[in-house]
Structure 1
Amino acid sequence: MEPRLIGTGLYTPAEAGRLLRVAPGKLSRWLRGHTMKGTRYERLWAPQVDIGDGHVYLGFRDLMEARVVDAFIREGISAIRIRRAIQVAAEMIAESHPLATNRFRTDGREIFLQVIETDEHGRERERLLNLFQRQYEFRGIIEPILKTVDFGDEGDPLQWWPQGRKAGIVVDPARAFGAPIEARTSVPTSILAEAARALGITEAAASYDVSEAAVRRALNFERDLEPSLAA
């Protein structure tokens, strides 16, 4: 893997779709755009990763952006409106992946983005930007999205706990190139699960010098991802 991708994470649409439970074809359309019935629909945002081979890849920030986009689409917001919201928000807060940040606020009916503005006297003030000029039921949508992500001081996503922190599995672009890992040991869940299937939990734990509990966590996580998605 290229040095510039270290700390970025790298996922094919199939790998990202498995983690997000979103069809890989849908992720590809969001990041590449598509044509339907003679009409061209542009991509929702520019992907974080482009290795120049003509294929679509996602970085960790794309993964986090896609989580929010999927939640919005499930609530009935059109991809066209989401694309426009991303464009406006990206310009307002100078972030390429604004939906991946923690600068969201909600009153249960509308979604706002926290914007810090500086006036002519150098004083900073907070303004809330309404991303959608229609009312949608957002209660219970944003909080779960933010709750499972660790953010940096500037609001950038650092790591994601796909099943919550208690499950002990984390997706961290700075470790294992963004593959899901058992948090305490940093061993990829796919490796521990494969070893457990081949050797049994006890021998797998001994082989990788981890606890049996760590192997069970990895195995349970991988089992939860097994149901396939239609493209």
Structure 2
Amino acid sequence: MKHSENNLVGIGLYTPAEAGRLLRISPAKISRWLRGHDANGKHYDPLWQPQVDLGDEGFALGFRDLQEVRVAATFIAKGLSAQRVRQAIELAREIIKDDRPLSTARFKSDGRTVFLQVAEADGQTKLIDLFKKQFAFEAILEKSLIHLDYDEAGIPSRWWPLGRSRSVVIDPARSFGQPIEAETSVPVEALATAAEAEGSPEAAARAWDVPVRAVKRAVAFRREMDMRQAA
């Protein structure tokens, strides 16, 4: 379904480039996973359908897509093929009853069983060896689901991309999911841009009537994102 601005509220909106900076993953890789691709004469379907359909303009990621990509990327980085991750997603949908199951709180406990079932059905032992010890699986999930808040249904609701101590949060219900400075609820981009335009964090803080520390956090966050883009 093509989304309008009104029904994007609570979903979040990120281009592959924006998602790539936040997740430290190649935008091209994200596009392959969510748009599908052809390789070696074979077609690969998307791992899942992205939340935001832009019609002829392509697609964008929603907040839930960001979190699913985080988990999928972690497992693929551990040596699993995208095809095995796809199988796990399909099985997890049935078990967890969610179209984007990997980032749910329930997947933290049921995910190991999901992957073991995938391995069993595939006749391979690699996944079984990988998750033979519970702590190994938990360590992989912890890396991919760190700094997340969940709602009462166990669905990701907020993400602190650099950790809570950095006081920048991504909440799909606020500012279309763009990073905001948590203490003031002002978008990071607005504060960082003001610091540049006003010539200092102090001047920007006066202009926005916010603490100087809030502006400095925003500037530091944007600097980190710029460094990731340049890398």
Name the TM-score, length of structure 1 as normaliser: 0.86
Q: Comparing 146-155 with 18-27, which one deviates more in the overlay?
A: 146-155
Verify the 8 A CA contact 1:23 1:230 in the aligned structure 2: no
| 1:54 to partner: Cα distance | 3.7
Q: Comparing 79-88 with 138-147, which one deviates more in the overlay?
A: 138-147
Give distance in 1, aligned partners of 2:9 and 2:138. 36
Q: Deviations over 1:173-192 (max 9, x none)?
A: 01110001101211111221
Unaligned runs of 5+ in 2: 120-126, 131-135
Verify the 8 A CA contact 2:10 2:174 in the aligned structure 1: yes
Query: Counting helix residues as a fraction of each chain, which structure ranks higher?
Result: 2
Give distance in 2, aligned partners of 1:152 and 1:4. 20
| 1:38 to partner: Cα distance | 1.3
How many residue pairs align between the two structures? 212
One of 7, 19, 22 as aligned partner of 2:22: 19
Give distance in 1, aligned partners of 2:208 and 2:96. 44
| Aligned-partner residue type, residue 163 of structure 1 | L
- Which residue in the other structure is 1:130 paired with? 114
- Which residue in the other structure is 1:75 paired with? 78
Q: How does 1:27-66 map to 2 (within 5 A)?
A: 27-66=30-69
| 1:140 to partner: Cα distance | 2.6
Verify the 8 A CA contact 1:14 1:24 in the aligned structure 2: yes
- Which residue in the other structure is 1:170 paired with? 169
Give distance in 1, aligned partners of 2:90 and 2:230. 29
| Aligned-partner residue type, residue 221 of structure 1 | F
Task: Compute the RMSD of aligned alpha carbons.
Answer: 1.9
Identity %: 50
Verify the 8 A CA contact 1:181 1:188 in the aligned structure 2: yes
Unaligned runs of 5+ in 1: 107-111, 114-127
Give distance in 2, aligned partners of 1:86 and 1:32. 16
